[in-house]
Amino acid sequence: MSLRPLTPNEARVLATLMEKARTVPDTYPLSLNLVVTGANQKSSRDPVMSLTDADAQEALDDLKRLGLVIESHGSRVARYEHNAQRVLQVPDQSAALLGLLMLRGPQTAGELRINAERWHRFADISSVEGFLNELAERPAEKGGPLVVVLPRAPGEREARIAHLLCGPVEAAVASNTIAASAGAAGATGQNDRISALEARVDELAAQLAALQAAVAQLGGT
């Protein structure tokens, strides 16, 4: 199924429901108040957000229209649960990875395996990479890729993966820009070092010429 890109608020609310379904099943489905509390957590969130009740309600209503959230009225308070796995047609393992990427931002396969411990226990990094490859190679008839591998930034040993549920990832461009900037900075530094060396050579040549002149004077006397 092809979906329109989600807004950051929608992605945060959806991922919060996906997380709490796995980590605190006793309080799931969530009330609006619990959705807001979970979305605005200071830990395990990147970026940290400050959604209001109105922000969260708007996101929930829009997600309901997309079929990604289901509202239940079994009590006086409306409660919400996600329907992401069914709508996106992905297995439980892939849904866990997508939820983590929406909550915590781009991560390496190793980071995803560690952070997924309470969601789904992956046997090894190869297992994580296998499900990520499936998400990255998702065919167009199913809506296209759901994750992308970002260019490795300078100083990073492993590439990071980002979700595509909010549309194309600007971080990929930013990473290239950072790399280009680092290359330009490196070239500038190298030019400065060369100029300094040339200045030092000129200084030494002048000192040598002065010494030679002094020796020549001594020899003439």
Structure pTM? Answer: 0.76
Q: Given the DSSP bridges, would you call strands 79-82 and 147-149 parallel, antiparallel or unpaired?
A: unpaired
The predicted structure's pLDDT at residue 175: 42
Instruction: Map out the domains of the chain as residue ranges.
Output: 8-173, 190-220
The 10s digit of each residue's pLDDT in 29-79 is 999 999 999 999 999 999 999 999 999 999 999 999 999 999 997 778 999
**CATH code given to domain 8-173:** 1.10.10.10
Q: In what order do the strands lie in the sheet with 69-72?
A: 30-31, 79-82, 69-72
The predicted structure's pLDDT at residue 176: 38
Residues 60 and 82: their CA atoms lie apart, in Å, by: 10
The predicted structure's pLDDT at residue 207: 54
Residue ranges in the chain modelled with pLDDT below 70: 1, 171-221
If 0-12 CB within 10 Å is exposed, 13-18 middle and 19+ buried, where does residue 145 land? middle
Structure tokens at 70: 């289901």
